[in-house]
A and B are shown apart, each in its own frame.
Chain A
Amino acid sequence: MGDWSFLGEFLEEVHKHSTVVGKVWLTVLFIFRMLVLGTAAESSWGDEQSDFMCDTQQPGCENVCYDKAFPISHVRFWVLQIIFVSTPSLVYMGHAMHTVRMEEKRKMKEAEIEAREMKSSGDTYYQQKCPVAEKAELSCWDESGGKIILRGSLLNTYVYSILIRTAMEVAFIVGQYILYGIFLETLYICQRAPCPHPVNCYVSRPTEKNVFIVFMLAVAVLSLFLSLAELYHLGWKKAKERCSRSYKPSPSTAPGRLESAPQVERAQMYTPPPDFNQCLSSPNGKFISSFSNKTASQQNTANFATERVHSQEDATGEGPFIKSSYVESPEVANECAAPAF
């Protein structure tokens, strides 16, 4: 039995960062393709050449006829199909991990810079409170490392990965049809040197193989359908967001308005997380006024960065496509809560 765990471990990670349809697709891949291939199909094709019989005594004729009948065995073809169809998801996974890492690095650097600045500014009250806030900010991000928001370039990568996956699926289905047609015939007539004349060759277990061929073809079509459904789902949500955006005024345009922003900022990857803002908007008014200018300018910088990156998309109040990245700390449970799927 083949050991698919090499690929399985990578795909487990992808599972966490996918939409609902994506998760279904991955489950179909794991169970109906990998598992079936590894357990049942492999043993069915196990004796494919040893039991491939040709009606001739000519040495070498069976070898060359088998080679002509099956340039690549079905099981190997399906192995390559699974690998190539899974690869785009891994590319998306790589991008997501890279984004998470870059974001973590940026936040750490910001925290370091702020700590240094605050130390030099001599504001003792802030020094007491802010390290806690920074820690919370970092832990909020780290904790949320399991989830990523699908926006901007990451969304583009996700869509491209689904498109390529769909193209691969179609290519392999068409390829299988071109190589073998749909069903396997019991009798194969072979004419190739050194066979002295057209020879009858008999395939081993043709009915059992046909059952598996039809099964794998059906699963491939189902996967194709799921990929298309996911594309439609993403496209529809995008269009819906655009419509609602053009209908309602955006709440995020005012810089420095931090209290109203948490839901919006939750949806953006390059702005301070709500936890930090909640620290600022705590009942201590003194707390806010002492460095509101700094945070306002920070907000401005973040907004400029966001506009540069998300050239086409604005933040909206709509829920992201998958779970939000921030896990709540007890004081800010309501603000940080993610819309669950």
Chain B
Amino acid sequence: MSWGFLRHLLSGVNKYSTGIGRIWVAVVFIFRLLVYVVAAENIWKYEHDEFECNIQQPGCENVCFDHFFPVSHIRLWALQLIVVSTPSLLVVFHVAYRENREKRHNQKLYKSPREIDGGLLCTYLISLILKTGFEIVFLVLFYKLYNGFKVPHLVKCDVRPCPNTVDCYISKPTEKMIFLYFLVATSCLCVVLNLSELSYLIFK
């Protein structure tokens, strides 16, 4: 899975960010993207194959897995990374639009390209608010879907065609839980960074 595009996008935004924005990019790259690519993907790689139910009834394992994992942790994690990085596109578009206008009119429309001013500041603030919002939405989604970031080693399933309440065993639950907590911690850190950047820009 190629994350190069996202990396390119976030690196581009770095030029127009404040110091806290740069820290946010570093946190996203290292503690979220890198951990996802290098560690987390492999943990959840064979989650369906390794999901085992104490029953011979064909189809029971499939429906039980589907019941307990409507969207797998790892897919939700990937979606979160993509959605949370997307508001930075707004900043990139605005800068591109501005440069386009400068080229067309053949003059500098703003004081200096490095300073965040007026319209660009507004766009940047909106992107910050959106980023924070999406983070919180995904954290709440994780919480609701999986009952509070816990991964049990045993779940009881009585979905048809399972003939009775069946014991199903999840693979690597402890490791998954460790990395889920890691995800939550880094998300919260990113929320804190976004909020502090927001307050810094507003009260500057």
Contact = CB atoms under 8 A, between A and B. Distances in A.
B102 interface: no
A48 to B, nearest CB: 10
A331 interface: no
Interface stretch (A1-9, A152-160, A269-277, A307-315): A1-9
Interface in A75-91: 75-76, 79-80, 83, 86-87, 90
A87 B30 CA distance: 9
Contacts of B26: 10, 90, 94
Interface in A280-333: none
A253 interface: no
Interface string A51-64: 00000001110111
A194 B153 contact: no
Which label, helix, strand, loop or mixed, suits the secondary structure of the A interface? helix
B153 A79 contact: no
A49 B52 CA distance: 13
Interface residues of A, number: 34
A289 B169 CA distance: 87
Interface stretch (B37-45, B69-77, B82-90, B118-126): B37-45
B171 A63 contact: yes
B37 A2 contact: yes
Interface stretch (B138-146, B173-181, B193-201): B173-181
Contact of B172 (A38, A67, A79, A94): A67
Contact of A60 (B33, B39, B46, B167): B167
A73 interface: yes
A312 B85 CA distance: 43
B52 A6 contact: no
Interface string A236-274: 000000000000000000000000000000000000000
B39 A7 contact: no
B183 interface: no
A71 B175 contact: yes
B154 interface: yes
Contacts of B170: 63
Contacts of A7: 29-30, 34
Interface string B6-38: 010000000000010011001001110111011
A25 interface: no
A86 B29 CA distance: 13
A340 interface: no
Contact of A94 (B3, B23, B37): B23
A92 interface: no
Nearest to B32: A6
Contacts of A98: 19
A2 B175 contact: no
Given A10-B29, A79-B38, A90-B30, A60 B175 contact: no
A105 to B, nearest CB: 10
B165 interface: no
A60 B168 contact: yes
A72 interface: yes
A310 B34 CA distance: 38
B35 to A, nearest CB: 7
Nearest to A86: B30
B164 to A, nearest CB: 14
A6 B153 contact: no
Which of B33, B43, B172: most chain A CB closer than 10 A?
Answer: B172
B66 interface: no
A63 B175 contact: no
A172 interface: no
Given A6-B30, A60-B168, A83 B35 contact: yes
Nearest to A59: B54
A50 interface: yes
A141 interface: no
A49 B50 contact: yes
B38 A67 contact: no
B175 A70 contact: yes
Given A70-B175, A87-B30, 6 more contacts: A49-B46, A59-B169, A62-B52, A63-B52, A76-B179, A79-B35
Interface of B: 3, 7, 19, 22-23, 26, 29-31, 33-35, 37-39, 42-43, 46, 49-50, 52-55, 153-154, 167-175, 178-179
12 contacts: A3-B37, A6-B37, A49-B172, A58-B54, A60-B169, A63-B52, A63-B170, A71-B175, A79-B39, A90-B30, A94-B22, A194-B154
